[in-house]
Amino acid sequence: MSDGKPVGIVLVSHSAAVATAVAELARGLVGGGTAVPVAAAGGTEGGGLGTSAELIAAAAVSVDRGAGVAVLADLGSAVLTVKAMLAEGDELPGTARLLDAPFVEGAVAAVVTASTGADLDAVEAAAMEAYTYRKV
Amino acid sequence: MLDADFFRRWMTATAVSVDREADRLTALDSPIGDADHGSNLRRGFTAVTAALEKEAAGTPGAVLVLAGSRLISTVGGASGPLYGTLLRRTGKALGEAAEVDEAGFAEALRVGVDAVMQLGGAAPGDKTMIDSLVPAVDALPGGFRAARAAAEQGAEATTPLQARKGRASYLGERSIGHQDPGATSAALLIAALAEADGE
């Protein structure tokens, strides 16, 4: 547990529509737990497909309640941009962590787990576990 | 010795050459990528030159760290964090010295290239920018012209390779026969060193 403060979740996609929709989906599946701050950082600042470091940084700050920030990313530049920002050390909240998880399934697992008041380690574990659910 | 002005000229020369070659980079990126490499890099290096005109960067390291940060913020595609990391790590390796010699720069650039390999998980032969950067760094002790020739050869040598990283890797064997746009733009970056040096 994390003193009642929820872990924040940032969803980084190449597409603003994808990031926003996945955030909605994850929030919609929470039910009645703690309100979890979820921010979408999709596409470039101009509204195109791609990744914006500025949007990611702003999203991370907006969901940081002091209990840690879990970042999920979809493809190529989204993943690389988050990793490059984390490597820098001062561009994301100190507790921010990129989760090694599938984007949609991991986001749902992360948000639902965070809504139980779980800490960042538990949120990360739940999101990573989403990789183990085989579909066939 | 190389001072901050040299590194500003390097970035400016890269911006000019990226602008000139943007259509060719995008054309290379059409069959095997998402056809935005030229426009992405043009946007990024335009932001780099604007930042260098506006913000104080008085050492070689500061110039490269500022340039790298602007690329990560503005490019939008994977080349942003990759080139951004290359320049930022190289700049940080240079430290706060007011001038660096060519050997010191070669060592710092190798630190930057290693950081790019770590970030992207690419090795030589994967058909990426690494295929021109690694030969360039290896050749750099022989001077900027040698590095430029090695980078251009490295970029051309990506044509018969099958991509193992990035968007092009989804194409499998269909990526064979196309020169890699990232290796090509990396060769422009290296070639701009010679231009900054007045060659």
> What is the tens place of the pLDDT at every residue in B8-17?
999 999 999 9
Residue of B nearest to A82 (CA): B81
- Model pLDDT, residue A106: 98
Residues of A with CB under 8 A from a CB of B: 44, 48-54, 76-77, 80-81, 83-85, 87-88
> CB–CB of B77 and A50 under 8 A?
yes
pLDDT tens-digit readout, B30-89: 998 888 999 999 999 999 999 999 998 999 999 999 999 999 999 999 999 999 999 999
Residue of A nearest to B116 (CA): A84
Please state the ipTM of this predicted complex.
0.90
Residue A60 corresponds to which tokens in the numbers above?
Answer: 């991370």
Interface test with B, best of A77, A92, A100 (most B CBs within 10 A): A77
- Model pLDDT, residue B34: 84
Residue ranges for chain A with pLDDT beneath 50? 1-2
Instruction: Give yes or no for residue B6 having a pLDDT over 80.
Output: yes
pLDDT class for B106, splitting at 50, 70, 90?
A: very high
CB-closest option in A48, A54, A77 to B81: A77
Beta bridge partners of B2: B100
- Model pLDDT, residue A3: 66
pLDDT above 90: percentage of residues in chain B = 94
| Averaged pLDDT for residues B125-131 | 97
Q: Which helix (H) or strand (E) holds B2?
A: strand B2-3
> CB–CB of A81 and B120 under 8 A?
no
Beta bridge partners of A71: A10, A98
| Residue A27 CB coordination number (10 Å) | 17
Q: Does B85 touch chain A (CB under 8 A)?
A: yes
Is residue B165 within 8 A of residue B119, CB to CB? The reply is no
Residue B120 corresponds to which tokens in the numbers above?
Answer: 């992207």
